């Protein structure tokens, strides 16, 4: 039987008041009759924070719920569409709603309410919108779309799009500030900011595959927000998928979606489903969206491991001496580094003859492996921990590995290699077992035989790979290389921990947007060649959301920050401090441009470095909890970050140059706090939740400690 308008209205009312709707299975009705039945109003599906309204043509709009009522944040749009090619070419947008089923169930994410909303196009294609609202994650809708070909003939699918919504501009803007801010999880060759303002001409495709020969992958989440409301979208698959997640400024606002090329002929009676994705309506910036994404993915089996204690130790890296370092230079700096409070020594690029073979350069280490082992022991005797750099999946022309194992190469559909620009190397295929075995053997040598206690896995190409068409690999699909990259990293991580359970495995995808699917295979990640202090800070906020409490994020070499000495940005976001200073002399023949004065640790710099390393070791803020939801990194001025540790709140405020005004210290609980500038030691009086505004001025940064008085 068809459901009457009265029943439809009753169902809507039940959902609006948050009541539990009993499971039902309504038989399918004719398209015309069903359209009439729902013409009294859209279906309203959701929870206490988010409603998805579905109209008779299965267009959707989003509403947020609050004590002040329900408020639409998007207009009705063709949010889930199918693009056909061939004789049937065109974008299929109109599906007449004919059926709605719902049930309460228990799933991966605990108790939830599931909905299946079905519509049909005029020629018989069926669209089923599958929505799940997990009780423990209010404001989030988990969604998937199933398309079924009931036309009686085959149809060619070229492309699909889901979650396409436009967040409109706020009615009352604030002067010259941008209408929106955005987070994008894709990688780009120009190493652009992950967090950007959305101006009138903003357009970014955010393809999750390769965006250059050796730049690709990322975190499959995007987010756009205004001062008052934000919208995030991402996919929840446990393997990477080659989808695009565009953000585009339009005359109506900021549009976001998930899109994918499909290239499949769907036979009569066949179905296919899109990836599962989520929509998240929120207040504040993107942090909560990424934090919820992390929690959802952990329940699906992808979770960052707890970092060992040594992952929070300050880092000195020998990269200041570049590839042409000498052992005398590195060993001559150890005592100074240790005396200043650094505990890790990273031997960087240049110990090897070439990428791929990973033979020890005997011009530097005459006895090869024996000298590498001796160097590691020398570091340990100096009271520090040795870590070794190498760049997996890269092989140079002319290497023995390429001569003996050309079968390991990742090849494109034309049989050509994929270049890695920095080392003029080629990609190896991570989904080919001999490639995995080769790298596991190398890790066992570095950790087990030579005695290094950590790995620095480095290179922009580590983040993503292209589909592999090498016939020697017998891939079921070329995309296996993309989907199994995370398994490759897991194999390396496990090989390291088999040799030393406390090993630090640092994954450094230089300049790219961190690929979340690799999260289980590392216990430290750095800012990864930041081009500014802003990148150190917003990458820190991002990684804190994606990895959660207990993770180790390093600010990368402080020399890469603004003015080459901005420790405040690293410490303020709860990152591990790192440097690549040289001493007692600079590298004599640098091959890369250096800042004024080089990397030499002058007496003036030494005093500054000691001061900041002392603050870091005293506060150890990476072990606190980053409270990323308290401040909006885009709209709140000055920019602010907060860490809670041992009952105290640590505030970090940042501005470009001089700033003067009133600071709002959010997050204070009941009681009084003593307030102190913990960089200068200056006492700033008492504050409380009812008296949390502080008038002050600073230049560039201000770090405050609010300690709860007993």
Q: Tell me which residue range forms the domain holding 694.
A: 639-708
Specify whether 288 is located in the same domain as 313.
no
Specify whether 562 is located in the same domain as 688.
no
Specify whether 316 is located in the same domain as 294.
no
Structure letter (DSSP) for residue 308: P
Which pLDDT belongs to residue 87?
Answer: 65
Examine residue 598 and state whether it is found in any structural domain, yes or no. yes
Which pLDDT belongs to residue 176?
Answer: 79
Quickly state the pLDDT bin for 243 (edges 50, 70, 90): very high
Quickly state the pLDDT bin for 173 (edges 50, 70, 90): low
For residue range 388-438, list pLDDT tens digits in order.
999 999 999 999 999 999 999 999 999 999 999 988 999 999 999 999 999
Distance (Å, whole) CA 326 – CA 41: 75
**pLDDT reading at 659 higher than 60:** yes
Which pLDDT belongs to residue 18?
Answer: 32
The CA-atom distances, in angstroms, between 621 and each of 105, 195, 271 are: 41, 23, 51
Specify whether 290 is located in the same domain as 316.
no
Specify whether 283 is located in the same domain as 326.
no
Examine residue 199 and state whether it is found in any structural domain, yes or no. yes
For residue range 603-635, list pLDDT tens digits in order.
999 999 999 999 999 999 999 999 999 999 999
Residue of higher predicted confidence among 482 and 550? 482
Specify whether 361 is located in the same domain as 458.
yes
Which pLDDT belongs to residue 2?
Answer: 31
Examine residue 634 and state whether it is found in any structural domain, yes or no. no
Specify whether 294 is located in the same domain as 372.
no
Specify whether 183 is located in the same domain as 278.
yes
Tell me the CATH number at 663. 2.60.40.1180
Which pLDDT belongs to residue 597?
Answer: 86
Final residue belonging to a domain, choices 280, 299, 318: 299
Distance (Å, whole) CA 639 – CA 223: 19
Which pLDDT belongs to residue 5?
Answer: 33
CB atoms within 10 A of CB 67: 4
Specify whether 215 is located in the same domain as 103.
yes
Specify whether 67 is located in the same domain as 216.
yes
Specify whether 294 is located in the same domain as 333.
no
Q: Tell me, rounded to whole angstroms, the distance of Cα 246 from its chain centroid.
A: 16
Which pLDDT belongs to residue 386?
Answer: 98
Final residue belonging to a domain, choices 299, 326, 351: 299
Quickly state the pLDDT bin for 7 (edges 50, 70, 90): very low
Q: What are phi and psi of 436, to 5 degrees?
A: -60, -50
Examine residue 630 and state whether it is found in any structural domain, yes or no. no
Examine residue 627 and state whether it is found in any structural domain, yes or no. no
For 303, how many CA atoms within 13 A lie in the half-sphere containing its CB?
A: 10
**pLDDT reading at 466 higher than 90:** yes
Distance (Å, whole) CA 78 – CA 93: 6
Which pLDDT belongs to residue 40?
Answer: 58
Which pLDDT belongs to residue 482?
Answer: 98
Examine residue 319 and state whether it is found in any structural domain, yes or no. yes
Specify whether 504 is located in the same domain as 602.
yes
Final residue belonging to a domain, choices 560, 592, 622: 622
Single pTM value for the model = 0.93
Residues composing the chain: 710
Under a CB-based contact definition with an 8 Å cutoff, are residues 320 and 580 in contact? Answer: yes
**pLDDT reading at 698 higher than 80:** yes
Quickly state the pLDDT bin for 519 (edges 50, 70, 90): very high
For residue range 9-54, list pLDDT tens digits in order.
333 333 333 333 322 333 333 333 233 344 457 999 999 999 999 9
Distance (Å, whole) CA 183 – CA 190: 16
Under a CB-based contact definition with an 8 Å cutoff, are residues 287 and 541 in contact? Answer: yes
Which pLDDT belongs to residue 39?
Answer: 46
% of residues, the chain, pLDDT over 70 = 94
**pLDDT reading at 314 higher than 60:** yes
CB atoms within 10 A of CB 187: 30
Q: What is the pLDDT of the chain when averaged over all its residues?
A: 93
Which pLDDT belongs to residue 550?
Answer: 86
Overall average pLDDT of the 179-197 stretch: 97
Examine residue 225 and state whether it is found in any structural domain, yes or no. yes
Give me the number of domains the chain comprises.
3
Pick from 595, 543, 526, 538: which is nearest to 565 by CA? Answer: 595
Examine residue 304 and state whether it is found in any structural domain, yes or no. no
Tell me the CATH number at 153. 2.70.98.60
**pLDDT reading at 219 higher than 60:** yes
Overall average pLDDT of the 84-100 stretch: 87
């Amino acid at each position: 039987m068809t459901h009457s308008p009265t029943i439809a209205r009753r169902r809507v009312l039940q959902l609006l008041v948050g009541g539990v709707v009993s499971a039902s299975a309504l038989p399918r009705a004719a398209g015309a009759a069903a359209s009439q039945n729902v013409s009294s109003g859209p279906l309203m599906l959701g929870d206490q924070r988010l409603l998805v309204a579905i109209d008779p043509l299965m267009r959707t709009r989003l509403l947020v719920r609050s004590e002040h009522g329900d408020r639409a944040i998007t207009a009705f749009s063709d949010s889930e569409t199918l693009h056909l090619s061939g004789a049937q070419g065109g974008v299929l947008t109109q599906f007449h709603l004919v059926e709605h089923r719902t049930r309460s169930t228990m799933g991966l994410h605990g108790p939830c309410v599931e909905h299946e909303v079905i519509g049909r196009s005029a020629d018989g294609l069926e669209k089923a919108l599958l929505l799940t609202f997990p009780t423990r994650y209010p404001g989030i809708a988990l969604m998937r779309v199933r398309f079924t070909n009931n036309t009686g003939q085959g149809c060619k699918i070229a492309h699909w799009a889901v979650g396409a919504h436009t967040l409109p501009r706020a009615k009352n803007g604030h002067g010259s500030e941008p209408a929106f801010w955005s987070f994008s999880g894709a990688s780009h060759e120009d190493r652009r900011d992950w967090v950007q303002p959305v101006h009138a001409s903003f357009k970014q495709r955010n393809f999750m595959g390769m965006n250059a020969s050796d730049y690709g992958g990322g975190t499959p989440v995007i987010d756009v927000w205004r001062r008052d409301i934000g919208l995030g979208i991402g996919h929840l698959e446990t393997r990477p998928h080659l989808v695009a997640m565009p953000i585009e400024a339009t005359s109506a606002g900021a549009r976001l979606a998930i899109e994918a090329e499909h290239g499949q002929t769907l036979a009569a009676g066949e179905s296919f489903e899109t990836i599962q994705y989520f929509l998240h309506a929120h207040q504040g910036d993107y942090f909560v969206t990424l934090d919820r994404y992390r929690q959802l993915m952990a329940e699906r089996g992808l979770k960052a491991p707890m970092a060992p204690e040594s992952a929070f130790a300050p880092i000195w890296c020998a990269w200041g001496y570049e590839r042409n370092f000498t052992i005398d230079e590195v060993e001559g700096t150890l005592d100074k580094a240790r005396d200043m409070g650094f505990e890790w020594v990273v031997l960087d690029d240049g110990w090897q003859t070439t990428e791929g073979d990973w033979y020890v350069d005997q011009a530097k280490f005459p006895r090869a492996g024996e000298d590498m082992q001796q160097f590691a022991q020398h570091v340990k005797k100096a009271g520090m921990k040795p870590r070794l750099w190498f760049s997996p999946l890269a092989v140079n022309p002319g290497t023995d590995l390429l001569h003996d194992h050309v079968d390991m190469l990742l090849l494109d559909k034309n049989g050509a290699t994929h270049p890695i620009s920095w080392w003029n190397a080629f990609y190896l295929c991570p989904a080919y077992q001999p490639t995995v075995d080769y790298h596991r053997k190398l890790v066992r040598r570095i950790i087990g035989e030579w005695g290094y206690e950590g790995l620095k896995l480095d290179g922009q190409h580590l983040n993503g790979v292209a589909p592999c068409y090498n016939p020697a690999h017998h891939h079921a699909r070329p995309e296996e290389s993309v989907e199994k990259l995370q398994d490759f990293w897991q194999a390396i991580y496990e090989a390291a921990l088999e040799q030393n359970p406390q090993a630090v495995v640092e994954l450094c995808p230089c300049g790219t947007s961190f690929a979340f699917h690799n999260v289980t295979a590392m216990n430290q990640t750095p800012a990864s060649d930041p081009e500014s202090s802003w990148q150190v800070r917003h990458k820190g906020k991002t990684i804190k959301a994606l990895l959660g409490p207990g993770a180790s994020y390093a600010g990368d070499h402080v020399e890469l920050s603004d003015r080459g000495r901005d420790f405040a940005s690293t410490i303020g976001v709860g990152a591990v401090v790192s440097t690549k200073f040289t001493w007692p002399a600079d590298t004599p023949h640098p091959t890369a441009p250096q800042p004024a004065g080089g990397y030499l640790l002058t007496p003036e710099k030494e005093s500054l470095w000691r001061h900041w390393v002392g603050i870091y070791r005293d506060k150890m803020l990476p072990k606190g909890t980053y409270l990323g939801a308290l401040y909006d990194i885009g709209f709140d001025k000055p920019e602010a970050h907060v860490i809670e540790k041992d009952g105290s709140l640590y505030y970090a405020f940042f501005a470009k140059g001089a700033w003067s005004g009133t600071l709002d210290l959010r997050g204070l609980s009941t009681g009084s706090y003593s307030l102190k500038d913990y960089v200068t030691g200056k006492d700033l009086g008492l504050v409380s939740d009812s008296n949390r505004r502080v008038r002050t001025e600073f230049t560039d940064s201000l770090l405050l400690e609010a300690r709860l008085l007993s």
